[in-house]
A and B are shown apart, each in its own frame.
Chain A
Amino acid sequence: MTSPSPRDELPIISADGVSKSFGDNRVLNKVSLDVKTRDVVCVIGPSGSGKTTLLRCLAMLEIPSDGRIVMQGTTISTPAPDATVRKAARAVRPEIGMVFQHFNLWPHRTVLENVIEAPLLVKRTPRADAIATAEALLDKVGLADKRDAYPARLSGGQQQRVAIARALAMSPKVMLFDEPTSALDPELRREVLAVMRQLAAEGMTMLVVTHEMGFARHVGSRVVFMDRGEIVEEGAPAAFFSAPKTERAQRFLQQFED
């Protein structure tokens, strides 16, 4: 075994004192969070607690009002990014994969075209290689036979698995999931969760905003509980779910008991 280099010990991605306001509405309040290599961090909390906004800040879809986003020691997002930060952001962009609640597949492209688009355009991967990788990924999410179908022909669960394959095609260092099963019927959630569980088992670093308590408990390596724009409690899933320390977390978890 070789000892990990210092760079590997740095968190893959961190929020450092991140706040975000929309007008007068403060959605995030000085949130700090580290996601380390092979972490599967599950962010839970009531709706409107700022979970999705935090994720969108990490994905650089929102610019924080205060604080910064850091990827392996490099600042990639600040309230007023200078040229260095913007350049760093462009460089690491493909290393952050994101899966949306509503899949956001491009409807005018087939499944395969959805998956190869970014490798072709952003990474300049030769077409044959991009297709080979895409086929392997589609096989992995169980949709090899759908490669030439258009998204509208797929079920929600299938669309979300394609979206996961599309994100994986850029070989990201971290995958961000924004309530990936919330838009799905219960019977379709399982197939998406299975793919996510497999990814976690393979050692993918993941940050998952979710209402799936079972997933957080059994697959998560750490649970972060948010409420009103702040991280209220965080810890190992076993301890958090069996004995939450804060009253707010206790009250939140009670809803899931029956």
Chain B
Amino acid sequence: MFRYTFRWDTVWNNFDFLMSGLQMTLLLSVITLVLAMLLGLVLALLDMAKYAPLRWVGVGFGEVIRNTPILVQLLWVYYVLPIVFGIRIEAFTALVVGLSVYQAAFISEVYRSGIQAVPKGHREAAQVLGLTPVQSFRRIVLPQAIRMTLPPLASNFVQLIKFSSLGAVISVNEITRRGMELSASTFRPLEIFTFIAVVYFFICWPLAMGIRLWERRLLAQ
């Protein structure tokens, strides 16, 4: 260790290669967040459905996803789904599907607590005035719930950026995978993975700090 000669030029010389991985990481995270937000809403509505079988589906699905490791789920989507359905799934698609489903199971809880935090009286006022349940949900409940769920949703985004590194295992060309490839050809893991860790940190840390400030401001209102 002490005799180690740093070769940071390995990083600089392959900067574009690594940054193309970062682009992929961010693209993945954004697509996955959008899908997870939509799927999470469906799950949250299932969880709160009046019709019991729908509720069982929502709750059961959520419990399975939340209580199995994300890596196993990704491997399952990538290797098992093709066997079951006899289709070929691209690594990128598998990662997007796996991450979205995983994150949706957590986001649905965020939504559910947001929706349940809206006082019952607000819905009753809408009901008495003749708004349909759908109108009341869309116009009265959802706008208030969203306001409360924005900070936790943003935190989920930070998590997604980090989880997307798991794509390396199923050979999606995000930044961690790029690092593995580069390390295999240059034998410079120390410089490369240190650099990548720093990149993740400087993306995730400001986001997390921003969210904390934002939450504090929302609480103050």
Enumerate chain A interface residues (CB-CB to B < 8 A): 59-61, 90, 93-94, 96-98, 100, 102, 104-108, 117-118, 121-122, 163, 166-167, 170
| Given A93-B129, A100-B125, 9 other A-B residues pairs in contact with their CB atoms under 8 A | A59-B128, A60-B127, A94-B129, A96-B128, A100-B124, A106-B144, A117-B139, A166-B129, A170-B129
* Contact between chains at A102 and B121 (CB < 8 Å): yes
Determine the distance from Cα of A71 to Cα of B147 in the docked complex, in whole angstroms: 39
Classify chain B's interface size: 10 to 19
* Contact between chains at B129 and A100 (CB < 8 Å): no
User: Could you tell me which residues of chain B, from 182 to 203, have a CB within 8 Å of some CB in chain A?
Assistant: none
User: Could you tell me which residues of chain B, from 92 to 143, have a CB within 8 Å of some CB in chain A?
Assistant: 119, 121-122, 124-131, 135, 139-140, 143
With a cutoff of 8 Å between Cβ atoms, the chain B residues found around residue A107 in the complex are: 144
Enumerate chain B interface residues (CB-CB to A < 8 A): 119, 121-122, 124-131, 135, 139-140, 143-144, 147
Q: From A101, which residue of chain B is reached at the shortest CB distance?
A: B121
Determine the distance from Cα of A17 to Cα of B49 in the docked complex, in whole angstroms: 32
* Contact between chains at A104 and B124 (CB < 8 Å): yes
Q: Which 8 A-B pairs have the closest CB atoms?
A: A118-B129, A104-B121, A122-B130, A104-B125, A94-B130, A93-B130, A98-B128, A108-B143
Q: From B146, which residue of chain A is reached at the shortest CB distance?
A: A108
With a cutoff of 8 Å between Cβ atoms, the chain A residues found around residue B127 in the complex are: 60-61
* Contact between chains at A121 and B135 (CB < 8 Å): yes
With a cutoff of 8 Å between Cβ atoms, the chain A residues found around residue B129 in the complex are: 93-94, 117-118, 122, 166-167, 170
With a cutoff of 8 Å between Cβ atoms, the chain A residues found around residue B147 in the complex are: 108
A-B contact pairs, 24 of them (CB 8 A): A60-B127, A60-B128, A61-B128, A90-B130, A93-B128, A96-B128, A98-B125, A105-B125, A106-B122, A106-B144, A107-B144, A108-B144, A108-B147, A117-B131, A117-B139, A118-B126, A118-B129, A122-B129, A122-B130, A122-B131, A163-B125, A166-B129, A167-B129, A170-B129
**Minimum C-beta distance from A115 to chain B (A):** 10
* Contact between chains at B131 and A121 (CB < 8 Å): yes
Determine the distance from Cα of A106 to Cα of B127 in the docked complex, in whole angstroms: 13
Determine the distance from Cα of A166 to Cα of B143 in the docked complex, in whole angstroms: 20
With a cutoff of 8 Å between Cβ atoms, the chain B residues found around residue A108 in the complex are: 143-144, 147
With a cutoff of 8 Å between Cβ atoms, the chain A residues found around residue B124 in the complex are: 61, 100, 104
Determine the distance from Cα of A144 to Cα of B210 in the docked complex, in whole angstroms: 39
Task: Please classify the interface of chain B as helix (H, G, I), strand (E, B), loop, or mixed, using the class held by over half of its residues.
Answer: helix
With a cutoff of 8 Å between Cβ atoms, the chain A residues found around residue B131 in the complex are: 117-118, 121-122
Determine the distance from Cα of A107 to Cα of B125 in the docked complex, in whole angstroms: 12
**Minimum C-beta distance from B126 to chain A (A):** 8
Determine the distance from Cα of A60 to Cα of B124 in the docked complex, in whole angstroms: 10
Q: From A96, which residue of chain B is reached at the shortest CB distance?
A: B128
Q: From B140, which residue of chain A is reached at the shortest CB distance?
A: A106
**Minimum C-beta distance from B163 to chain A (A):** 32
Determine the distance from Cα of A121 to Cα of B134 in the docked complex, in whole angstroms: 11
With a cutoff of 8 Å between Cβ atoms, the chain B residues found around residue A121 in the complex are: 131, 135, 139
Residue with the highest number of chain A CB atoms closer than 10 Å, among B122, B124, B126, B128: B128
With a cutoff of 8 Å between Cβ atoms, the chain A residues found around residue B135 in the complex are: 121
Determine the distance from Cα of A106 to Cα of B126 in the docked complex, in whole angstroms: 9
Determine the distance from Cα of A163 to Cα of B128 in the docked complex, in whole angstroms: 12
Q: From A166, which residue of chain B is reached at the shortest CB distance?
A: B129
With a cutoff of 8 Å between Cβ atoms, the chain A residues found around residue B130 in the complex are: 90, 93-94, 118, 122, 170
Determine the distance from Cα of A96 to Cα of B124 in the docked complex, in whole angstroms: 13
Determine the distance from Cα of A98 to Cα of B127 in the docked complex, in whole angstroms: 10
* Contact between chains at B128 and A106 (CB < 8 Å): no
